[in-house]
Amino acid sequence: MMTAAASGRPSKREAIIETAERLFADRGYDATSTALIAHEAGVPAGLVFYHFATKLDLLLAIVHERPTPGEVLRTAARGRSVHRRLRAVVSSMAEELERNRAARIIVFREAQARPEIAERAAELFDEATTTVAEILSGAEDVVAEPDRVRTAADLIVSRVFLDIIALGQADTATKRHAAMIDLIEESLTTPHAE
């Protein structure tokens, strides 16, 4: 007997998760009723609670069942120069966040009031920062010390996360990213005048 997933038939559990993700991102967790999720997912109301014991469990499933930005970053192209690596890192992060926009919004928005999720948000942020720092420090032309590389990584990750979770002005993002890359690049490739 094949599972729903293996058979290609979209499992109802998946449908619930995906619908919930979209709705939670659009209207917020509290403002989304389980009945609405069921309705929009095309499943009976009771089924939500067959698959998820509570509404919070459904939220946690969304929050944990996505690849982390860090994982994706690790596969980013690694050119020789800081410049190339910066560009690869920023664009692959932006892309990933865009792809999982709903999940990211949810994580960061709900983090404020829910310790469980705050922990996850911190995890995602730290992992991303660490990965970016690693990538940058591997470039040929880096002259900055590890701490400064970390600071640069932190600024980059902060700015790109903020795009998504609060002020997503997609139209101006590319230009802004280029300017940021430029500034950061210089600070990593210029000898630090003490």
Could you give the C-alpha distances from 140 to 84, 86, 131, 135, 178, in angstroms and in order? 11, 13, 17, 11, 20
Q: Which of 14, 18, 22, 36 binds DNA (CB under 7 A)?
A: 36
Q: How far apart are CA 112 and CA 131, in angstroms?
A: 25
Residue 45, contacted partner among DNA, its own copies, none, CB below 5-8 A by kind: DNA
Residue 170 touches its own copies, criterion: CB under 8 A: no
Q: How far is the CB of 72 from its own copies (least distance, A)?
A: 20
For 59-112, the DSSP string reads: HHHHHHSS--HHHHHHTS---SSHHHHHHHHHHHHHHHHHHTHHHHHHHHHHHT
CB 169 within 8 A of CB 163: yes
Residue 33 touches DNA, criterion: CB under 7 A: yes
The two tokens of residue 165 are 């979770």
Kindly indicate which of the ranges 11-19, 114-122, 142-150, 169-177 contains the residues binding DNA, using the contact rule CB under 7 A: 11-19
| Binding residues vs DNA (CB under 7 A) | 1, 4, 11-13, 31-36, 43-51, 53-56
Residues in touch with its own copies (CB under 8 A): 25-31, 105, 108-113, 121-122, 125, 147-148, 150-152, 154-155, 158-159, 161-162, 165-167, 169, 176, 179-180, 182-183, 186-187, 190, 192-193
